[in-house]
Structure formats: C-alpha cells, structure tokens
Amino acid sequence: MIQPVRSLRRSATTMATAALNFVYPPACLFCGRDVESARPGFCETCLATLKPAISNECPRCGAPVGPYTDVTKGCAQCRRESYAFDLVIRLGIYDGEMRLACLRAKATSGSGIARALADVLVDQKIVELRDAKFDFVIPVPEHWSRRLLHPYYAAETVSRQIAQRLEIRWSRSILCKTRRTPKQATSPTPQRRQQQQGSFAVGNHKHVTGKTILLVDDILTTGSTATAAAQSLKKAGAKRVVVAVIAVSPLKQ
C-alpha cells in the first residue's frame, strides 16, 4: 500500500477509536472496571496479577526456576524430556487469575481477552520475540472436524494477534492436523506423546525449509502436542521452531 494512504487510514482508525471510547469508555476485559488505555485490555490491577512477577524461567520449557539455576540444558523438570521445539516463550503460569483468564479466552466469546493476553505477552517478551527473527507465525492447528463444531479457536486468535503486533506473516494453512486426537487433560505424558505422534503434517515443504517459525498455542501442558507439531515442521526442513504460549501448566513442573 502507498505510504500516505496507509497513514491516512491509520489516522482515520485512531479518530474512530477515540470517538467510540468517548461514547463507550473502555472497560477492563477481566474485571469490567474503566480503563484509560485506548487499546482494549486490562486495568492496572488485573495487569499486575496477570503479568509475572520478576522471575527466572527455563528457556526450554518455561517453568519458573531459581535465580542461580543453570538452565543451559534445561531445568530439573525438563532435562529428561525430549522436545522437538527449541525454546518456549510464555507469559505466565496456568494457575490462579491466569488460569481464569485463559479459560475465558478459550470460551466462545473469548476473542477479546485472547487478543489482550497476546498483547501482554508481546509487551513482556518483545526482546526475545524480535531477536528470534521469525519468518512466520502459525497456530498449533486443530482438526477440521473440531473447527466445524467450534469455529472460534483461542490459539488461532492469540497467534494472529502476535503476528500483527510483530508485523510477521501469519498462516494457518502451512501446518494441519491430519488426525483427531482425544482431549488430553487427564492422560499421562507417555500416552499423550503416543496420541499426538504423527498427527500433524506440513502441506508444502517449500514454505518451511530453512525457516524460523513461531508456533503458538494458548497453554503448554506436557509439551506433547507442541512437540508433535514441531516434529512435523522440523521434518519438513524448518531450521528452528520456537513455541509461544500464554501460560505453562504447573502440572509439568
């Protein structure tokens, strides 16, 4: 698009948003209190509970670790795990208020909160996300039969928002889920691995070969799903696969 046209369109959008905010003052997407920000999101109080307190985390699995823990080969929770992805970038731990926020983001009407959580993740991890120089952003895909019943899918909304904020190409067609797998919340890890293995496929290897990919899901539990998805991408020639999630489950710690 020609630059002046783009900036005119941006100014028009800003003015329209300001007018709308005047008529309907924006409210926190989590507690409903009025907020000052022009961008839909959270109030200061909710933001403080959703943003992690300053803590160290394992770059391999996202688990919180002590300040002096050597994480060059992962932490105590993940050292014996084999993941196909290279790194995990996460906002928080799937517990307390963050768990409630993630559950609301998953609900049919959760796209606003899913986008706002993605914004907080980008704001918190902007350095890591920019430094990785991703070629594109993709969601961990769902099987088409699930999409038929539930067209809204939180991982897709989160991934699209991250791609928009980073101005990186987004695609949901590069990786697909070829087989439906059972809901896994209660399955033990080895069973999850087995269920997910070989359930993803890359359509055209040309899109993936030599690329650095940001693979996005809303929650990372055992890493089985992300590993199976990353395995497909690596088999198709991906150079590096980084997983970004809103929260990592404390179950895996």
List residues near Zn ion by CB under 5 A. 28, 30-31, 33, 43, 46, 58, 60-61, 63, 74-75, 78
Structure tokens at 188: 């033990």
Closer to Zn ion by Cβ: residue 74 or 139: 74
Closer to Zn ion by Cβ: residue 15 or 31: 31
List strands edge to edge, sheet with 87-93.
87-93, 240-248, 212-220, 136-139, 169-170
Output the smallest distance, CB 90 to Zn ion, in A: 11
Output the smallest distance, CB 26 to Zn ion, in A: 11
> How many whole angstroms separate alpha carbon 174 and alpha carbon 168?
15
Task: Give the residue carrying structure tokens 């919180």.
Answer: 64
* Distances in whole angstroms, Cα of residue 7 to Cα of each of 3, 13, 72, 119, 168: 6, 10, 45, 22, 19
Output the smallest distance, CB 218 to Zn ion, in A: 19
Closer to Zn ion by Cβ: residue 33 or 179: 33
Closer to Zn ion by Cβ: residue 63 or 233: 63
Output the smallest distance, CB 190 to Zn ion, in A: 18
> How many whole angstroms separate alpha carbon 68 and alpha carbon 48?
25
